[in-house]
Amino acid sequence: MALRPIRMAKVGLIGLRADEEKVLTVLHDLRVAQVEPLGPETMALLAPERGSETLRRVGDETLRFRGLLSALPRGGPPVPRRFDSLSEILAATETIPIDAEVGDLKREDDRLLTEKKANDDTIDLLGNLAFYPDRLEYLHSASYLTFYGETSAESLSALEAALPPEADARLLRGPAGETVRFLVITRPAGAEALGRIAQSRGVRLAAVPALSRTATEELSDLRTRVGEIVARRREIAARLEAIAREWYPTLAAIDEALEIENRKSEVLAKLGASATAFALEAWVPRRDVERLKSVVTGATDGRTYFYEVPTREEPPTLMNNPAGVRRFEFFVRFYSLPQATEWDPTLVFSIAFPIFFGFMLGDWGYGLVILLVSVWMIRGFPGARYLPKAGRNFVKLIMGPKGMQQLAYALLPGCGLAIAIGLYTDAFFGAPVLAAFGYATPADPLHHVGSLLLLAGYVGLGMVVLGFGFGVLKEYFHHHLRAAFGKVGGILFAFGVAFFGLALIHRQIEIPGNPWVDLYLGLMVGGLVLLVGGEGLQMGMMGLIEVVSHILSYTRLVGILLASVVLALVINTIGSGLAYGGTAVGIVAGLVILVVGQTFNVILGVFEPGIQGARLIFVEYFSKFYSGNGRPFRPFGAPRRHTVSPLVPEAPTVAGPIVQAPEA
């Protein structure tokens, strides 16, 4: 478990042009190197690598195979295939004979789908024209146009009254009812005005199709044609499935091989080359440097010179946290990615945030509901389609599905702690239900406010001091000794002001010659001197104010807990009071207040503890040592699924890269 991102090293490679493809394959399959543009000193000796004309063909073939795969259903189990060179990949592309057939089938299917949609719309329209028994050809002429519409009787009357004289419009109404179907016949000169007036009144008009026979006769033929289209599309789908069963695994393997070659071509722009040699530079996790060197040397039979590049550049960041802690990287990335040379705050966040969240929630009813909702989010929102559309859209505005799942994972331990605290304090949606079974509440929050505030103060002191402690180490490792002394001053002043405040509250300051009070004053004065000396007069004085305000800020842990408790108490008191009145209206009103009020309090129980818990860490803790603005480590390469690396022995039993780097 690391408190810092993985250490990085910048390495350089110089090799023969003949080995360039092998080296790029190694880098792609190992996925441990972020290729960087060459420095100006190196590029002064080399020319930019341009790649070969063959890469244009690779791009064309990539588009071709993407089209084939998108046209075919996924078929057949994956059969990883090995390609030892680019020429072998291009040769394999010439063995695929299905382009013409797949293209013809797909174009026919698209044309049939378009025709079916048009016929379905016409069938719906003709079904509404049952009130018009004559031939449809009577509704079409060079001197007039006919439109179909439906609306309420009042809207239709208003539309008729608003028709302009130049339209010379005539209405043919269908049967009366809540919705009136009608035909409106107008001269071509008045069609635009008719459409504008209908749109302003919310009436949608549709042109009557140019058909000749009656609606009933046309409907029969259209339905027969739709049936023929459906049958033909089934035949096309069956043929495409048969093609996919035979060719999809091969197509997927060639497509993946082409994608890899395209990634290599993108990297070529960062390389330098001469007539016989090439060079590249890359950031690599220091733990993988020797492994990369060994594989590159073996792949090129020792013809590559591998070296470390001395640099003062800020490396990219690759965090290294275990699976449980890694769930909380979402919050840290949301705030700002740490730089590669500073502390990774994810571990402390993963411990502090659930504690803060569970403490502020402090109710086993609310904790259980949020826990169940979190599990539902983790499982992919099953049944979400039955929720109101407005609610689904509101959730999407807040965060995407992946972010919601990460948030749900992070809330699980906090919900567990909230349930434990709620059981201890006998709080179930604000009601002491366990008291009915003889359970005596040992710690009611409303009767222990002073103790809770003192606890929150100690938590604030610990978090502030911990932040300053990381700040001291950061400045020391970066050889900023003056700034490190300033951080030490913050620690001394934090202890001094906290314990001096407690002494003042307990009237210990009034005891003559109390050595503890002198110690606290000494810590405050020493901290003040170090802060001002380390950060300057202005910043030092602002630091003193921040120390006090940041410690006191943690009392919001108690404030939000008490606000939730009091709100639940008010909801329960009002709701139960109305329900116990005995009248039907009172019972219904009481239940509505209980359900709506508690639902609102559950929503607050997610947002307030979540936002304030994260804020206490982001502002009061991070500000002591955290700079952020790191750039993520993005290694060149991607996992293979349909191809086998040419670096592995022949006839492999398992496809995939030799080494897998942790995800950046």
Residue type, 101: E
Sequence-distant (6+) residues with CB within 8 A of 496 are: 520, 521, 522, 523, 524, 525, 526, 527
Q: Residue 663: what pLDDT?
A: 43
Residues 203 and 339 occupy one common structural domain: no
Write a three-state SS string for 248-266: HHHHHHHHHHHHHHHHHHH
| pLDDT value at residue 201 | 81
Number of compact structural domains in the chain = 2
Q: What percentage of the chain carries pLDDT values higher than 70?
A: 93
pLDDT per residue over 231-271, tens digit each? 999 999 999 999 999 999 999 999 999 999 999 888 988 89
Report the pLDDT value the prediction gives residue 653, as an integer from 0 to 100. 42
Q: 108-112, 322-326, 360-364 — which is least confidently predicted?
A: 322-326
Q: Is the CB of residue 128 less than 8 Å from the CB of residue 181?
A: yes
Helix pair 449-477, 481-505: axis angle to 10 deg: 170
User: Which of 101-115, 492-506, 539-553 is most confident?
Assistant: 101-115
Task: Give residue-wise pLDDT tens across range 362-396.
Answer: 999 999 999 999 998 888 878 766 666 665 565 66
Examine residue 85 and state whether it is found in any structural domain, yes or no.
no
Q: What is the pLDDT at residue 391?
A: 59
159 found inside a domain? yes
Residue 20 lies in a domain: no
Which residues, other chains included, contact 335 with Cβ-Cβ below 8 Å and sequence gap of 6+? 618, 622, 628
Reduced DSSP (H G I as helix, E B as strand, rest coil) percent helix, strand, coil of the chain, to 5:
65, 10, 30
> What does 112-180 look like in DSSP terms, one character per residue?
HHHHHHHHHHHHHHHHTTTT--S-GGGG-BTTBEEEEEEE-HHHHHHHHHH--GGG--EEEE---SSSE
Q: What are the tens digits of pLDDT across the range 599-648?
A: 999 999 888 999 999 999 999 999 888 988 999 999 999 999 999 988 77
Among the candidates 189, 206, 224, a domain finishes at: 224
Q: Residue 180: which CATH number?
A: 3.30.70.2750
Predicted confidence (pLDDT) per residue in 458-481, tens digit: 999 999 999 999 999 988 888 888
Q: What amino acid is encoded at 518 in this protein?
A: D
Per-residue pLDDT, 658:
39
Residue 228 confidence (pLDDT): 95
Confidence of residue 650 (pLDDT cuts 50, 70, 90): low
Amino acid at the residue 582: G
Q: What is the pLDDT of residue 139?
A: 85
Which of 383-392, 419-428, 447-456 has the least mean pLDDT?
A: 383-392
Instruction: Specify the pLDDT at position 662.
Output: 41
Do the Cβ atoms of 550 and 494 come closer than 8 Å? no
Q: What integer pLDDT is reported at residue 575 of this predicted model? A: 86
The bridge status of strand 277-285 relative to strand 272-273 is antiparallel
Q: Which residues pair with 308 in a beta bridge?
A: 11
Identify the domain containing residue 362 by its residue range. 323-439+452-624
What integer pLDDT is reported at residue 655 of this predicted model? 40
Mean pLDDT over 338-362 rounds to: 93
Q: Is residue 286 assigned to a domain?
A: no
Residue with token string 């949020």? 370
Give the tens place of pLDDT for each residue, 51-78. 667 888 898 999 999 999 999 998 777 7
Q: Is the pLDDT of residue 580 over 90?
A: no
pLDDT of res. 189: 81
Position 399 scores a pLDDT of: 65
pLDDT digits (tens, 9 = 90+) for 36-47: 998 777 777 787
Residue 519, in any domain of the structure: yes
Q: Is residue 21 one of the residues assigned to a domain?
A: no
Of the three residues 169, 198, 224, the one that is the final residue of a domain is 224
Q: Is the pLDDT of residue 504 over 90?
A: no
Whole-angstrom CA distances from 397 to 202, 213, 477, 613 are 29, 51, 42, 22
Mean pLDDT of the chain: 87
Q: Range with the lowest mean pLDDT among 69-73, 490-494, 505-509?
A: 505-509
Of 172, 195, 224, the one marking the end of a domain is 224
Give the pLDDT band of residue 659 (cuts 50, 70, 90).
very low
Asked, for residue 210, whether it belongs to a domain, the answer is yes
In this prediction, residue 29 carries a pLDDT of 93
Residues 343, 199 within the same domain: no
For residue 347, give the nearest of 320, 315, 371 by alpha carbon: 320
What letter represents residue 184's amino acid? V
- Assigned domain for 198 exists: yes
Q: Which two tokens stand for residue 60?
A: 């064309």
Give the up-direction half-sphere exposure of residue 466: CA atoms within 13 A in the CB hemisphere. 16
The pTM of this model reads 0.76
pLDDT of residue 395: 60
DSSP secondary structure of 386-441: GS-HHHHHHHHHH--HHHHHHHHHHHHHHHHHHHHHHHHHT-BTTB-GGGGGTPPP
CA distance readout (Å), 323 to 371, 433, 630? 20, 37, 21
